[in-house]
Structure 1
Amino acid sequence: MPHSSLPPVFLGLRAGLHVLTAALLVLVAVRVLITGDSIATLALVLVLAFAALYAGGRALSLAPPARRQALGRLWLGGLCAVWTGLMLLVPEAAYLVFPLFFLLLHLLPRPWGEIGVLAATALAILALGLHHGFSLGGVVGPLVGAGVALLIGLGYQALAREAREREELLAELLATRSVLAAAEREQGVLTERSRLAREIHDTVAQDLSSIQMLLHAAEQSSPDGAGMEHVRLARETAAHGLADARRFIRELAPEDLERGLGPALDRLARGIAQRTGLEVEVEAPADLDLPVAAQVALLRISQGALANVAQHARADRARVQIALEDGGVQLSIADDGAGFDSSGLAEGTTGVLAAAGAASRPDSFGLRAIAQRAADLGGTLQIDSAPGRGTRLVVRAPLPDSEVPRP
């Protein structure tokens, strides 16, 4: 974990470890200078070597991640070797075992960290015993220090694990926010395209169609009348304008609806099958011609429903059916999966929204999204399901009289 990302408690523990190490090294150096015996020079060299090696540990963060662990253990081994040599010369050097406890627990995996702490404790007790003779204080002191270090080390590891989980959760939330923002932008674009398509259909296209029919009626009522050539030319111009308006409407539809809702559902079924293995059968009229807004909503409902089936239903097969009914369109999606208790989902959009909002199932968000799209169409959503017998979802949406496809 980078130093800059450590929580304050970690920074405090690290700073305390550095201060403790520096204070103990000063203690050892003062002890060597006071005694001034024949080993003073060698002892001071080892003190400086320990200090330099300890300070050089900060360079480990600059090492490549793949080699950082191995270099850290090598660095720890060097510290332990210098410390062992220093203990043979100066008994007070045994107290450097306390910062070493934390380094052993931090750099070595379990249980090797704990084993290293016990081995270092034994060396410290042995060194104190060789210099001053074995005593209760010389044994209990390092043992108590080892116990405290183990408890602090376990707490540190728990805090570090919690910090990592928090960072992972934050990263996931940021990624989710980006995905939601992209989805909202895409939905905004689709909504605006659908709105433009409806506006063109309801205004320019309808007016051109009416003009074309009126001119055609005038042409038929008096085929040889004066100015009929101009009427014929006006009718042809209106026909060209109507064709252009319809082309604009088609181009404003989403790319996956370029060839119509039926082919878009076929592509969706193939994609689901390739990604998840779920076999999806699509039944849709080949010449189905619905308004752009209805096509977009029905395609998105199908995508959401099939995603729920693939993720939660444990189904092998699913069927998507679209049919025209009196004054509207019906979308049905059924699967042979595990199903669930749908008794709490009342018939109609409002009931489904309320029940799905209170549900604890992992697909409740998908149900809310599907119900909302059905509501946007002015339609209803019905769900029929039971444990062990699959699920059937039916969306019924009305179409304005002018937009109902004619045979």
Structure 2
Amino acid sequence: MPHTTLSPIFTGLRVGLHALLLGLAGFAVARSFAVASPAAVWSLVVGVTFVTVYLLGVWAGHRRRGAQVVRRPPAIGWVAALTVLWALLTWLTPEGAFLVFPLFFLYLHVVPGWGGGVAIVLTTTYTIVALGLHVGFSVGGVIGPLVAAGVALLIGLAYRTLTREVDERERLLAELIQTQQQLAETERQQGALAERARLAREIHDTVAQGLSSIQMLLHAAERHTSGTATEYLGLARGTAADSLAETRQIIRELTPERLEDGLAAALRRLGREQADRTRVNIEVRAKDDVVLPMTFQTALLRIAQGALSNAVRHAAAQRIVVELTQGTDLYLSVVDDGRGFDVDAAGADPHGAGSFGLHAMRERVEQLDGHLVIASELGKGTRVTVRLPLTQLSEEDD
């Protein structure tokens, strides 16, 4: 079990169980010698064997936990050997019956399913019969083992429930941390891409436009001059042309690599990569004539990446269709045939482990003055649709 705030409690319970079992075994043997029982020597032999087998099993179990190996049959064989030795010790001395209480917890922990309960019933019956043969049958001799069995069952069930809750909490916490890290990384990449796109626009709108204007003016001046001045103007115009080419190269380098061929090509490349990695049938429908500012291309690509990741990781989809269309408005849709989910429940907790991706998509779309619609039904897949008004695109376009 991974380390949690409850790890000291579980460790304390295990140590307490070990101490109880070893103490009761020692008491049974010592009591046999104290009353000068004819079977005292045999009680010592069986008791030492019992403790030895128990300690060897605990040691082997600790090694297997460290190696992350689970082998149920050897553990059941170990418990069966302890049960046989306990039965012999109880037959030799009545105080051996006390060992049945810690054995109850071993049954519940090691024996799968209802087997642990069956083992408790059988050993409780044996304890009652053995005590009756040793000291005579009485109400206390019957009620005592029954009460001990009931208490062990309640404690064992509570322990199992607590363990399941801790495991579930650890799983959710790990998923939450992973999702937060993914969101932080996505936001960092988004910020870097947005800054690069902003610099590219600024250079295009200032330096590149200025150099282009200088070229035009120098070309016009060349037509109205002659002699040495024409040579200098030609040289100046050539220098401006070279600077403009270098500036455009800088703009291309600032453009995100995935989007250097446009959004449609980037979506097709993304679909191929996801399909190769996950073996999911992914179809991308996008025309290359959709022209968008870099800010919008970057945001739509990230939204498509998030929707594809959700469909593959959480929805267990087998077929996904990504479609980019342009009409009165621009639409990006991602449709999958996965298990679906409750959209209202996911939206009610935007900081939940399964809702960060949807929340990030919604924020990106809102930043672009667009509209996001998520339609899903359990067992019937999910459709994520982004609508961006073309009026907003024209305002942002170069």
TM-score, length-normalised on structure 1? 0.78
User: Which residue type is aligned with residue 371 of structure 2?
Assistant: L
What does residue 32 of structure 1 align with? 32
Gaps of 5+ in 1: 339-355
Residue 233 (structure 1) aligned with residue 212 (structure 2): no
Gaps of 5+ in 2: 338-345
User: Which residue type is aligned with residue 21 of structure 1?
Assistant: L
Distance in 1, Cα, partners of 2:26 & 2:311 = 69
1:116: how far off?
0.6
Change (3 A) 1:5 1:54: farther
Distance in 2, Cα, partners of 1:82 & 1:316 = 61
Residue 395 (structure 1) aligned with residue 395 (structure 2): no
Change (3 A) 1:159 1:49: same
1:253: how far off?
1.3
Q: What is the RMSD of the two structures over their aligned residues, measured on CA atoms?
A: 3.7
1:242: how far off?
1.0
What does residue 346 of structure 1 align with? none
Residue 135 (structure 1) aligned with residue 125 (structure 2): no
For 1:198, what is the secondary structure of its paired residue?
A: helix
Cα shift readout 1:1-40 (whole Å, capped 9, x = no counterpart): 2688753443343233233223322321221121224322
Matched-pair contact (CA < 8 Å) for 1:309–1:315:
no
Distance in 2, Cα, partners of 1:198 & 1:97 = 79
User: Which residue type is aligned with residue 219 of structure 1?
Assistant: E
Residue 144 of structure 1, aligned match among 144, 147, 150: 147
Change (3 A) 1:371 1:119: closer
1:58-69 alignment runs, 5 A limit:
58-59=58-59, 60-63=61-64, 64-66=67-69, 68-69=71-72
User: Which residue type is aligned with residue 373 of structure 1?
Assistant: R
What does residue 80 of structure 1 align with? 83
1:168: how far off?
1.0
Distance in 1, Cα, partners of 2:273 & 2:2 = 41
For 2:228, what is the secondary structure of its paired residue?
A: coil
Distance in 2, Cα, partners of 1:192 & 1:369 = 18
Cα shift readout 1:332-352 (whole Å, capped 9, x = no counterpart): 2368899xxxxxxxxxxxxxx
Distance in 2, Cα, partners of 1:165 & 1:392 = 33
What does residue 259 of structure 2 align with? 257
1:107: how far off?
0.5
Cα shift readout 1:152-195 (whole Å, capped 9, x = no counterpart): 11111111111111111121122212212221221232122222
Identity of aligned residues (%): 45
What does residue 320 of structure 1 align with? 324
What does residue 330 of structure 2 align with? 331
Matched-pair contact (CA < 8 Å) for 2:281–2:319:
no
**Structure showing greater relative contact order (alpha-carbon pairs closer than 8 Å, 6 or more residues apart):** 2
Equivalent pairs counted in the alignment come to: 375
What does residue 353 of structure 1 align with? none
1:260: how far off?
2.2
What does residue 54 of structure 2 align with? 54
Matched-pair contact (CA < 8 Å) for 2:180–2:356:
no
1:197: how far off?
1.4
Change (3 A) 1:372 1:335: closer
User: Which residue type is aligned with residue 256 of structure 2?
Assistant: P
Change (3 A) 1:318 1:79: closer
Matched-pair contact (CA < 8 Å) for 1:121–1:146:
yes
Distance in 2, Cα, partners of 1:306 & 1:25 = 61
Matched-pair contact (CA < 8 Å) for 1:315–1:335:
no
